[in-house]
Amino acid sequence: VDLNQIKEPSFLKTLSTEELKSLSQDIRTFLIQELAKTGGHLSSNLGVVELTIAMHKVFDSPKDQLLFDVGHQAYIHKILTGRAKDFHSLRQTDGLSGFLKRAESEHDVFEAGHSSTSLAAAAGMLFAKDHNPNIGEIVALIGDGSLGSGMALEALNFMGHYPDKHPIIILNDNEMSISKNVGHLAKVLTNIRTKKSYRSLRRKSSKIVPGFLRGFVSKAERRFRGFISGVTYFESMGYQYFGPIDGHDFKQLIAALEAAKSEQKPCVVHVRTVKGKGFDPSEADKLGKWHGVSPFNPENGHFLKKNHENFYSYSTLVAKYLENRAKHDASLKVITPAMIGGSDLQRFQEQYPNQLIDVGIAEQTAATFACGLALKGNKTYLTIYSTFLQRAYDQISHDIARHHANVVIGIDRAGLVGGDGETHQGIYDIPMLAHIPNMTIAQGKNPEETFALFNYAFEHHKGPIAIRYPREHSAYNFDKGFDYNHIKKPSWETIKEGKKATVITFGPMVETLKTKIDKAGLDVHLINARFIKPLDEAILKTIDQTIPLIIHEESTLTGGLGEMIIARLVKLNHLPQTVKTLGFDDCFVEQGDKSVMLKRHHIDADSVMKLLEDLI
């Protein structure tokens, strides 16, 4: 099949099992070849090739609403709905989204990026269906990792309460979140998988037992079902359970989906799949290295990006810092919500298995758990991406901050993130945290200063503190160690004195701007606001009111550093005549190359330089 010719999925209706198999081969080859060039979520998609084809064969999208939890595994859905031709631009600037996008296709009925929202959205659509006959079946595909999250379990509980509604939840069980799945639900699912299938048991019992005894048997069977642990898990939650189904076998898949479709009540179809199937390196991967990939060689599975010597991602820099700290401090506990790989914590886990706790995709639990640990005297480090921190707002306010708990929050991926796009940008955490009493927020201009902030946080700071770091690489030589102890209290740093304009910024932009200003020979006063909260009032009071002030942040403007500084300067009666703020102006920032996006939103270093030249 020429995948580029596919316009919409109805052609599947007439295909035989053999033809479906051949189509799935073509799709796997296409995914491997295309993602080798662009990168993207390889493993999750290779695992659901047959399942997605079966979904589109049995259901009629877009009348039937197909929801994909997270949406990172919807590439096959994109191919079957006419988007194969756009894969060359996957996750690129102005290109095909790596998640569902309603603007891309009428078949994309719900967008996500963060996990575990699909069931609640499905519930909403189910209720909407009561008044809208044009809405067909409501079908949500969700992974076993995402099902363990609070939101998904809340919605599972909620929908189970309506026996007359008919959501079809397809559970894609590959025993993996990004890396190995955690939590008791994972064990429940393992139990179901390893016990004989309930369906086959039921078939057998109705064959061997005469009719008049069936009532009795079904009671006995019901009791016996209790032993097939997990079958009762979904049934006791109010769902008709189908499974476990071999997710790479079209006959089983189609039969199970048809059966669920003909039901009247809430259904769970439990499908077992192999994450990364069909490509040796991803199929063998148990650490999640092939979950989201950069370009690679499809022949041998080698990644194309060469690691420059002494050049590391901030995630790696921080992970190495933590390894060093754990060596001397057994009370240090590191908490991650399902992001061991992304936060580069595999080495930490191997060396200090008892000091790393993966709570699963459960940011809220991670935050309150950190609070509990800290209140009982543990050095507590919660590592979390800026975008996922949004899930834990109330827990940070109500639990961590209100208790004044000594939790160090490492905010990874602060700032723009590139290909993941709108749902993942790390540009909203500053306003979200800044107004919470007791919170301190900081970001270093380079690795050395980041380590100094961490040392300050662990050794001097009382109460919660969040230290941001970007999705960027930076040079560092680990022979230099981590011993940077020059920050003893929250304070800013004057990088250079100048008389024509003042610039305040933070993070890597500090050094980028310093270089550019020096090169251009501009007489600019440059301040590094390494603490975003509290503001350094002593420095603010010394600002020259007669020259322009520019405040730059790779963050949203509303409630950000710029607005906080202006408000404080007004209070101090010290506002300069000309003040400009540069940041993202009340928007969701689209996917794409970070430098392109910074330019597009006029907050790259050149835009700051241009503004300086205009003002001076």
Ligand X SMILES: Cc1ncc(C[n+]2csc(CCOP(=O)(O)OP(=O)(O)O)c2C)c(N)n1
Single out the catalytic residue among 34, 137, 363, 493.
363
Chain residues 5-24 in contact with ligand X, contact rule CB under 6 A: none
Task: Give the full edge-to-edge strand order of the sheet including 356-358.
Answer: 356-358, 332-336, 379-385, 407-412, 465-468, 440-443, 531-533
Q: How near is the Cβ of 34 to ligand X at its closest, in Å?
A: 18
Per-residue contact flags (x/-) with ligand X for residues 271 to 300, judged by CB under 6 A: ----x-------------------------
Check residue 338 for interaction with ligand X (CB under 6 A).
Answer: yes
275 is catalytic: yes
27 or 569, CB closer to ligand X?
27
Write down the least CB distance from residue 164 to ligand X, Å. 28
Rank residues 412 and 554 by Cβ distance to ligand X and give the closer one: 412
SS3 label, residue 613: helix
Q: How far is the CB of 338 from ligand X (least distance, A)?
A: 4
What is d(CA 544, CA 583) in angstroms, rounded to the nearest whole number? 22
**CA dist., res. 154 & res. 148, Å (int):** 10
Say if CB 464 and CB 401 are below 8 A apart.
yes
CA separation, residue 172 to residues 42, 109, 169, 364, 493 (Å): 16, 19, 9, 23, 51
Q: Which is nearer to ligand X, 388 or 484 (CB)?
A: 388
Q: Are 69 and 141 in contact (CB under 8 A)?
A: yes
Name the E strands within 319-439: 332-336, 356-358, 379-385, 407-412
Stretch that binds ligand X, among 175-183, 191-199, 215-223, 443-451 (CB under 6 A): 175-183
Could you say which residues in the range 478-517 bind ligand X, by CB under 6 A?
none
* CA separation for the pair 152, 410 (Å, rounded): 26
Nearer to ligand X, 9 or 145 (CB): 145
The Cα–Cα gap between 334 and 340 comes to 10
Spatial contact of 501 and 590, defined as CB atoms under 8 Å apart: no
Residue span binding ligand X (CB under 6 A) among the ranges 66-74, 221-229, 400-408, 600-608: 66-74
Candidates 28, 57, 391, 552; binder of ligand X (CB under 6 A) is 391
Catalytic pick from 275, 320, 530, 594? 275
Cβ contact 318:385 at 8 Å: no
d(CA 277, CA 284): 9
- Residue from 321, 388, 458, 482 in contact with ligand X (CB under 6 A): 388
Smallest distance, ligand X to C-beta of residue 10, A: 26
- Residues in 93-132 that interact with ligand X by CB under 6 A: 114-115
**Member of 40, 82, 98, 143 binding ligand X (CB under 6 A):** 143
Positive/negative CA dihedral, 147, 150, 155, 161 = positive
Q: Which of 540, 470, 475 is nearest to 504 (CA)?
A: 540
- Among the options 78, 320, 333, 391, which is catalytic? 391
* 176 near ligand X, judged by CB under 6 A: yes
Work out whether 172 is an interface residue with ligand X (CB under 6 A).
yes
Closest CA to 504 of 526, 531, 536, 532: 526
Find the distance separating the first CA and the last CA of the chain, reported in whole Å: 62
Nearest to ligand X of 82, 360 (CB atom): 360
Subset of 177-236 contacting ligand X (CB under 6 A): 177-178
Pick one of 72, 83, 325, 594: the residue that binds ligand X (CB under 6 A): 72
State yes or no: is 363 an active-site residue.
yes
| Closest CB to ligand X among residues 419, 498 | 419
- Peptide bond preceding 464 in cis form (omega within 30 of 0): no
Kind and range of the H or E element at 271? strand 267-272
Determine if 70 is a binding residue for ligand X (CB under 6 A): yes
Output the smallest distance, CB 319 to ligand X, in A.
17
Nearer to ligand X, 143 or 266 (CB): 143
- 394 vs 144, 404, 430, 432, 503, CA distance in Å? 25, 14, 15, 10, 34
Q: Count CB-CB contacts under 10 A for residue 519.
A: 9
- Scanning the structure block, which residue is given the tokens 């680990």? 478
Interacting span for ligand X (CB under 6 A) from 142-150, 207-215, 490-498, 591-599:
142-150
| Least Å from the CB of residue 149 to ligand X | 7
Query: In this chain, which stretch among 141-149, 431-439, 558-566, 593-601 interacts with ligand X, using CB under 6 A?
Result: 141-149
Segment 341-370, which members bind ligand X (CB under 6 A)?
A: 361, 363
DSSP for 433-444? HHTSTT-EEEE-
Structure tokens at 554: 């790779």
Site for ligand X in 410-449 (CB under 6 A): none
Closer to ligand X by Cβ: residue 270 or 275 = 275
Near ligand X by CB under 6 A: residue from 24, 38, 81, 146? 146
For residue 192, the 8-state DSSP code is H
Q: Which stretch binds ligand X (CB under 6 A): 137-145, 196-204, 473-481, 578-586?
A: 137-145
Q: How far is the CB of 438 from ligand X (least distance, A)?
A: 25
As a whole number of angstroms, the distance between CA 517 and CA 75 comes to 45
Report, in Å, the least distance between residue 177 CB and ligand X. 4
Which ranges in 39-111 belong to alpha helices (H)? 42-47, 49-58, 75-78
Q: Which of 585, 583, 580 is nearest to 615 (CA)?
A: 580
Instruction: Fill in the per-residue mask, 38 to 57: x = in contact with ligand X (CB under 6 A), - = not in contact.
Output: ------x-------------
Residues in the chain: 616
Q: Which residues bind ligand X (CB under 6 A)?
A: 44, 70, 72-73, 114-115, 143-146, 172, 174, 176-178, 275, 338, 361, 363, 388, 391
Q: Which residues are catalytic?
A: 275, 363, 391
